[in-house]
Structure 1
Amino acid sequence: MTTKSRLSICTTCTSSSAKGATDPRHGRELFDKMVESCAKQDMPFDIRAVECLTNCKSGCSVALSGPGKWGYVYGNLDTGMIDDLCELGRRYAGTNDGIVPWRERPESLRRNVIARIPPLD
């Protein structure tokens, strides 16, 4: 089992501004661009593609999780937020409890929290 934090990206999401499903899906594009961006950096978190976070009305979605940490689901994301997602992932990974203070989150993501999930332990 990994001890790193994880950024899970829904690859089946469609952008909330889209008129219908796309091929590839916007979530797949977000995942591919995050992997490409993170490959150039030593990131303290893993990135994983997942199918459906059941947050379809809130566009592209990701989940942050880690052992013993609060988890978060963020929605209404797009590929223009890659740098901010990297920064949020770094800050999240650097916490003991998963709580990144609101003012320390990248501004473009502050209002995109869909849910906060308590740790399992």
Structure 2
Amino acid sequence: MEGSVVPDPQAACLDICITCRDPQTGAPGEGERLFKAASRMPAPDGVTVRPLSCLANCDRGCSAALTMPRKWSVLLGRLTAPQAGDLLVYARAYAQSTNGMLMPSRRPDSLRNVVLGRVPGAAMDLP
């Protein structure tokens, strides 16, 4: 990966997996295309967008993760480069949310069914 992006420790991180390659040609896969598309757009306030090596979710297509201190972390899959703008809208809503949980109705239409799972964040108060 070219140069690392050091996130603000209080910001949300949108990490996009760029590992996968086209098995036939070795060309960059959908994750790298998604990352490049998202990088050409201004990141929302409070969100850092970073490339990431392997989220180990290859069977579910291009993947990304949203994380932020004291919030649920979210694993996303089945993403495509044309969803870059919607993904940044979702990341902004995630960063502004109280706990990181966004119901499908609060996500852009193209991202209603991309959440694969969530994990409690460090130092969260859990019921």
Aligned position for 2:5: none
Aligned position for 1:33: 37
Give the counterpart of 1:9 among 16, 19, 24.
Answer: 16
Paired positions, count: 116
Aligned-CA RMSD value: 1.8
Aligned position for 1:110: 112
After superposition, where does 1:17-28 map in structure 2 within 5 Å?
A: 20=24, 22-28=26-32
Normalising to structure 1: TM-score of the pair? 0.86
Give the 3-state SS of the residue equivalent to 2:38 in structure 1. helix
Query: Residues of 1 paired with 2:67 and 2:60: CA distance?
Result: 19
Aligned position for 1:60: 62
Runs of 4+ displaced beyond 6 Å: none
Percent identity between matched residues is 33
The alpha-carbon distance between structure 1 residues 102 and 35, as it changes in their structure 2 partners (threshold 3 A), is: same
Contact 2:44–2:92 (8 Å) recurs in 1: no
Output the amino acid matched with 1:114.
Answer: L
**1:3 CA displacement:** 0.4
Give the 3-state SS of the residue equivalent to 1:73 in structure 2. strand
The alpha-carbon distance between structure 1 residues 43 and 20, as it changes in their structure 2 partners (threshold 3 A), is: farther
Query: Residues of 2 paired with 1:117 and 1:52: CA distance?
Result: 18
**1:96 CA displacement:** 2.2
